[in-house]
Structure 1
Amino acid sequence: MAAALHDTPSAIRLDGAFHIAIAQGIGNSVLTHLMAASYEQRLSPFFERFSVHFEGPRTWRLALAEHGAIRDAIAEGDPSAAREAMRHHLTESQRRFSENFTPDPN
């Protein structure tokens, strides 16, 4: 994913692969299918045009760092830390997405 920071379609595919691998790793087939379907939609022409407004090298760098924290917690066998790192990542992803739709107070 680090090599794809300037290539949003590739970053989306790699981001999806990360989340799908985690869902597969916990054995949750419903979550795995949901993640796969979500990322399939993210690669649609509509979303591709839409995503230029809120995704780019800065947001992918942040997501990559958050993925690293999740990966490290999983590798250390620390489910509490992995859960908290994933919660943080999802919260921050939502914040990054929605901040582009909040009126600028200035």
Structure 2
Amino acid sequence: MKEGIYQCEPAEDGVFTWINQAGAEILGYSSPEEVVGTRVKDVYVNPDDRKELVEKLGKEGIWRDFTSYCKRKNGERFISERTCNLVRDENGKSIRIEGVFRDITER
């Protein structure tokens, strides 16, 4: 099973800043370069899922096995399971979210 690994800005409207090849392919892109700069919330079927994730990470710092409906570049829906953590600088300021995700639609 492919696992996408990514980094993104910690805001609700944050964009992908890095993603591996497997992650790009899961999202329906041919290369990571196509994904970098796109808004993370645009991959969620329900954008409130992104808001919920950002809020929980702000409070707890990590969220394991978060499941949500996502969509590929072509609009095809899939079920995503992810584990994310919030990275902070030495002053406690949120600087990025790092995560691992997979398509679990066939489970």
**Please, what TM-score do these two structures have when normalized by structure 1?**
0.30
Q: Tell which has more relative contact order, 1 or 2 (C-alpha 8 A, sep 6+).
A: 2
Q: Larger Cα Rg: Structure 1 or Structure 2?
A: 1
Larger fraction in strand: 2
Q: By percentage of residues, which structure has more helix? A: 1
